[in-house]
């Protein structure tokens, strides 16, 4: 259980980095090369680590002030996990929130990550 907490903490740190290279270094550690990623805002599924990092680079360019936070301790069993997240503004105000569900392999790398946004909160 602590292993997956660290992986998810590193993933969140990779989101929050303003440095693309640092993000790629962290993502190389925690994401499988062919990790599948999708959330409700994306038109198409992302199928590799490089595209995943480019997607976050673009997000950070558009919303440089937002910070991704864990809103719940990660919960996991059988290689599956979930955690709640929040995007917050510098003043602490909530921008958006939701949950991620995913899968992790035996090398402790995330192989799938599916994001849902909580609409009515």
Exposed / middle / buried, residue 104 (Cβ in 10 Å: 0-12, 13-18, 19+): buried
- Give the three-state DSSP class for 66: coil
Position 114 contacts a copy of itself (CB under 8 A): yes
C-beta closer to a copy of itself: residue 7 or 26: 7
- Residue 25 contacts residue 103 (beta carbons within 8 Å): no
Position 47 contacts a copy of itself (CB under 8 A): no
Find the radius of gyration of the CA atoms of the chain. 13
Which positions from 87 through 106 interact with a copy of itself, judged by CB under 8 A? 99, 101
Which positions from 11 through 40 interact with a copy of itself, judged by CB under 8 A? 38-40
Among 2, 18, 62, 78, binds a copy of itself (CB under 8 A): 78
């Amino acid at each position: 259980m602590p292993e997956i907490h660290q992986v998810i903490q590193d993933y969140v740190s990779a989101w929050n980095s303003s440095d693309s290279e640092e993000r790629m270094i962290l993502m190389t550690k925690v994401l499988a090369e062919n990790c599948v990623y999708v959330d409700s805002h994306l038109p198409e599924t992302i199928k590799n680590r490089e595209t995943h990092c480019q997607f976050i680079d673009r997000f950070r360019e558009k919303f440089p002030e937002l910070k991704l936070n864990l809103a719940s301790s990660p919960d996991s069993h059988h290689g599956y996990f979930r955690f709640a997240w929040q995007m917050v503004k510098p003043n602490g105000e909530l921008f958006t929130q939701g949950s991620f569900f995913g899968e992790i392999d035996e090398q402790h790398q995330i192989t799938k990550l599916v994001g849902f946004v909580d609409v009515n909160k």
